[in-house]
Structure 1
Amino acid sequence: MRRLHYGMNVSADGYIAAPGDDLGWSEPSDALFQWWLDEERAISLFLYGRRLWETMSSYWPTGDRRPGATPAEIEFARNWRDTPKVVFSSTVAEVDWNTRVVTGDAVAEITRLKAEDGGPMRVGGAAIAAAAMRSGLVDEFAIVTHPVLLGGGTPFFTRLDSRVRLDLVETRTFPGGVVLTRYETRR
C-alpha cells in the first residue's frame, strides 16, 4: 500500500498562499530548496489540484534551461518532468510531462492509488489536500514554516470532522528562521 504525503511552505499563521494566490513570500534558501528536491526525488506520483498544476507547469518544464538555474533547480525540473503526475480538474483539458487528468471523484481515485503497490505519493494544492485530509488519506504532513504573517489567504489545514492524532518524526531549522516539522498520522 502506498503512503500519501502532504507538505507545503506555510506562513507562521498557517497559510500556503497569500490573498490573490501570491506565493512570493516563501523564497527558499539553497538548503531548503535542496531539502525539497530530496523529498521530491523520493515521490513516485504527484497529485495536483488545478491551481497548483498551473503554477508548477508554467515554470518547471523548462526550469532547467533558464539563465542562472542552479544545479538543484536543474535537477528539480528534470525530476518534475520525469515523475508521473495526476491532475484533478474538470477544466484542464491538455496536459503533458508524464501527466494525466482525472475529472471524477478525487477521493475515490486517491483511495484506489493508495491501494496499489508503489512508492509514496505527494498531494499538492489546498482543495485536493483538504479532500484527502477529510477522508483520512494523508499519512504524513511536512509543514515548512516561514517567519512571516500573511493575515489571510489559502490555509494549509482544512476544517476536519474529527480529531487527527499526529506523531512528530522530524524537526529541522533552515537559514532565515524557516522550521520544518514533519508528522505521521497515528493509525
Structure 2
Amino acid sequence: MRKLLYGMNVSLDGYIAAPGDDLGWSVPSDELFQWWLDEEKAVELFLYGRRLWETMSSYWPTGDQQPDATPAQIEFARNWRDTPKMVFSSTIDKVDWNARLVAGDAVAEITRLKAEDGGPMRVGGAKLAGAAMRAGLIDEYAVVTHPVLVGDGTPFFAAPDSWVNLSLVETRTFPGGVVLNRYETRR
C-alpha cells in the first residue's frame, strides 16, 4: 500500500496562500529549499489540483534554465519534469510535462492508487488535499510554518468530518524562524 503525503508552506494562522494567491511570505531559505527538494525526490507520483498544477507548470518546466537558478533549483526542476504527475480537473483539457489528466472522482482514484504497490505519493492543492483529508486518505502531514500572519486566504487544513489523531514524528527549525512539524496519521 502506498503512502499519501501532504505538506506545504503555511502561515502561522494556517494559510498556504494569502488573498490573491500571494505566496510572497513563503520564500524558502536555501536550507528549506534543499529540504523540499529532498522530500520531492523521494516521491514517485505527484497529485495536483488544477490551481497548483497551473502554478507549478508555469515555472518548473524551465526552472533549470533561468539565469539565476541555483544548483538546488536546477535539480528541483529536473526532478519535477521527470516525476510522473496526475492532475485532477474538470476545467482543463490538456496537461503535459509527464502528467496525466483525471476528470473523474478524485477520491476514488486516490483510493485506487493508494491500494497499489509503490512509493509515496504527494497530494498538492488545497481543494484536492481537502477531499483526500476528509476521506481519511492522508498518511502524513508536513506543516512548514512561517512566522507570518496573513489574515485570510487559502487554508492548509480542510474541515475534517471527524477527529484525526496524529503522532508527531519530526520537528526541525530552519533559518528565519521557519518550523517543520511532521505528523503521521494514527489509524
TM-score bracket, shorter-length normalisation: over 0.9
Equivalent position SS for 2:176: helix
Residue of structure 2 equivalent to 1:124: 124
Quote the offset at 1:68 in angstroms.
1.0
Q: Does residue 65 of the first structure (1) align with residue 56 of the second (2)?
A: no
Moved more, 93-102 or 168-177: 93-102
CA distance in 1, matches of 2:71, 2:3: 29
Q: Does residue 56 of the first structure (1) align with residue 84 of the second (2)?
A: no
Residue of structure 1 equivalent to 2:46: 46
Quote the offset at 1:92 in angstroms.
1.5
Q: Does residue 99 of the first structure (1) align with residue 99 of the second (2)?
A: yes
**TM-score in terms of structure 2 length:** 0.99
Q: Does residue 110 of the first structure (1) align with residue 110 of the second (2)?
A: yes
Aligned partner of 2:150: which letter? L
Equivalence map 1:67-82=2 (5 Å): 67-82=67-82
Quote the offset at 1:148 in angstroms.
0.3
CA distance in 2, matches of 1:126, 1:42: 21
CA distance in 2, matches of 1:95, 1:51: 13
Q: Does residue 90 of the first structure (1) align with residue 85 of the second (2)?
A: no
**1:68-124 CA-partner distances (Å, limit 9, x unpaired):** 100000000000000000000001211111100000000000000000110000000
Quote the offset at 1:8 in angstroms.
0.1
Residue of structure 2 equivalent to 1:184: 184
Residue of structure 2 equivalent to 1:27: 27
Quote the offset at 1:37 in angstroms.
0.1
- Percent identity, aligned pairs only, is 81
Aligned length: 187
Structure 2: give runs of 5+ residues left out of the alignment: none
**1:112-157 CA-partner distances (Å, limit 9, x unpaired):** 0000110000000000000000000000000000000000000000
**TM-score in terms of structure 1 length:** 0.99
Residue of structure 2 equivalent to 1:163: 163
Query: Which portions of structure 1, spanning 4 or more consecutive aligned residues, are displaced by more than 2 angstroms?
Result: none
